[in-house]
Amino acid sequence: MKALQFEVKGEWAHFKRPETNNNPLTHDMITKTALIGMIGAVLGIERREMKSLFPILSEDFIYNVQLLNPVKKISLGLTSRKAFSTVEKASPKSFEILRNPAYVITLALSNERSLNIFNRFVTAVKEESAIYTPILGWHNCPAEIYYKSEGKMSEIQEGEFQTNGFVKAGEYTPCNLTSEFRIGFDKLPTYQNDDFWNLPEKYVQVIYPDYPHSISVKGKYREYSVTSEKLCLI
């Protein structure tokens, strides 16, 4: 299974939780659906084409996120309007924003039908090129992308392993949880249909160690050939 590791950084990010419309809250980290949107932007894929690609890429790409900065959230009063509307009345809302988000993302190809898009994205990351500006959830949250390595993921194995990334809550048995550092919990969308709707049944609950810590867990993993890291991919 082909895989790519790269870093994504920015000053701000907002990955909106759908259940918080009045005072929007953000997920703790980049979601799979936000990552797919970022891939589309880098490759210059128009919105109409992405509409049909989202469910395919949701199935064919699997990923893991490791933090490079602690999760830090702040609240900002912002006014949000619909695009191209100059007459719509709006008042400021309190938005939860991620400050200085930075991640190592491992992206793997689980189905060869999306090989062309995967290879094009690898090339773009290596060349630090993008057709449209990649963003961290919002268009006013630009992202910087840096290539780390390209390799392969192993077949699924099972056992105890140490990780800096997320694992599925309830499916992995923690071995060394302590009160010395923060363990985060989140419920991440992993599938978007062709109406740009995140299907509720496709959300995955995860736990993760806050930067710069790691956790030891028992469960299924894949090993990345370049670094020998053992990771849970969703």
CA distance 55 to 197: 10
Between CA 234 and CA 17 the distance in angstroms is 18
Average pLDDT per consecutive 10 residues, the chain (234 residues; last block may be shorter): 98 92 89 98 96 97 98 82 56 87 98 98 98 96 98 98 97 82 94 94 97 96 98 98
What is residue 80's predicted lDDT score, i.e. its pLDDT?
60
Q: What is the pLDDT at residue 26?
A: 97
Residues 50, 52, 58: CA angle, nearest 5 degrees: 80
pLDDT at 85: 54
pLDDT at 84: 52
Q: Give the per-residue pLDDT at 176.
A: 72
- Chain centroid, CA 126 distance in Å: 19
Q: Please give the Cα distance from 63 to 166 (Å, whole number).
A: 10
